Amino acid sequence: MLHPLKLFIWVALGIVFFSCEKKNPAKVAMQEVSFNSEVRIIDSTKWHTSAALTIPEYQNWLRKQQGITYDIMKNAAFDAVIWYQPIALDAAMSVAENGDISLDSYEDYVKTKSGYHYISIEILYKDPSVNRVFNKEDFFSSLKKNLFFVKDKTDTLHNSIVEIFPSTLIGQPHHLSVLIPAGTSFTSLTAGVKGAILGFKRDLRIDLSEKQYKSLPEIKL
């Protein structure tokens, strides 16, 4: 039979041992969660974030601003996306593609692109019927007539430039690049495609206010 003092010591050691056993798994779990968080989660409930964003984070943030900098529509025949493309993001992507991620290269690119607002539209034609003839010229001609660019809700912009880049591969979207002169003053800028031309029930569109435009996040190179 153990002496009362020895029994007390063994009981105390047992309590300490089991207490440590319970604490260790919690510490390991917390480390795993922290280690696996490779991309920060951006709070989409707030328009502006003070944190500079990486290219993937910036793209993700733009998508979360539904109806402001990004919109998407789908049906059986088409997938269509429109998004406002900030110069900061476009410049960062370009210097990254060229392999010269330097502040000087970034600033030079920003200067060359600073004369316009850039809006990107992508339309994927996904009709699986191989027998149906798809006339690209007729399609793009009709599409251009159904684009709209408006400032302050009422004034149609007639000085926008639309560049069309048809897809060359099956499953690749057609791309439209829209350039609106940066000298155009506005309290709100609306851009989009009339939904009827693509069989959508509503227009594909974005509405960006001057305040939102002036408070776009910074980019992290």
Residue 3 banded pLDDT, cuts 50, 70, 90: low
Whether residues 22 and 106 share a domain: the answer is no
Residue 201 sits at the vertex; the CA angle it makes with 196 and 204, to the nearest 5 degrees, is 70
Residue 49 is assigned to a structural domain of this protein = no
The β-bridge partners of 208 are 189
Predicted local distance difference test score (pLDDT) of residue 162: 96
Whether residues 206 and 104 share a domain: the answer is yes
Predicted local distance difference test score (pLDDT) of residue 134: 67
Pairing of strands 116-125, 78-84: antiparallel
Whether residues 105 and 181 share a domain: the answer is yes
Whether residues 102 and 189 share a domain: the answer is yes
Name which of 173, 197, 172, 199 is nearest 83 in CA terms: 173
What does the alpha-carbon distance between residue 218 and residue 53 come to, in Å, rounded to a whole number?
6
Buried/exposed 77-89: b ≥16 CB within 10 Å, e otherwise: ebebbbbbbbbbb
Each residue of 164-196: pLDDT tens digit?
Answer: 999 888 888 999 999 999 888 889 999 999 999
The larger pLDDT score, comparing residue 134 to residue 184, is at 184
Q: Tokens standing for 140?
A: 């793009």
State the pTM of this model: 0.74
Predicted local distance difference test score (pLDDT) of residue 48: 64
Domain containing 17 equals 1-38
Whether residues 62 and 169 share a domain: the answer is yes
Name which of 123, 135, 136, 121 is nearest 174 in CA terms: 123
Q: Is 121 in contact with 193 (CB distance < 8 Å)?
A: yes
Predicted local distance difference test score (pLDDT) of residue 118: 95
Phi, psi of 22 (to 5 degrees): -75, -35
Mean pLDDT of the chain: 79
Predicted local distance difference test score (pLDDT) of residue 16: 44
Predicted local distance difference test score (pLDDT) of residue 129: 60
Residue 221 is assigned to a structural domain of this protein = no
What does the alpha-carbon distance between residue 116 and residue 135 come to, in Å, rounded to a whole number?
31
Number of domains in the chain: 2
DSSP 8-state assignment for residue 162: E
Predicted local distance difference test score (pLDDT) of residue 19: 45
Residue 59 is assigned to a structural domain of this protein = yes
Whether residues 173 and 79 share a domain: the answer is yes
Range of weakest confidence among 73-77, 101-105, 129-133:
129-133
Each residue of 22-77: pLDDT tens digit?
Answer: 433 332 222 232 222 234 444 545 666 667 899 999 999 999 999 999 999 999 99
Whether residues 22 and 104 share a domain: the answer is no
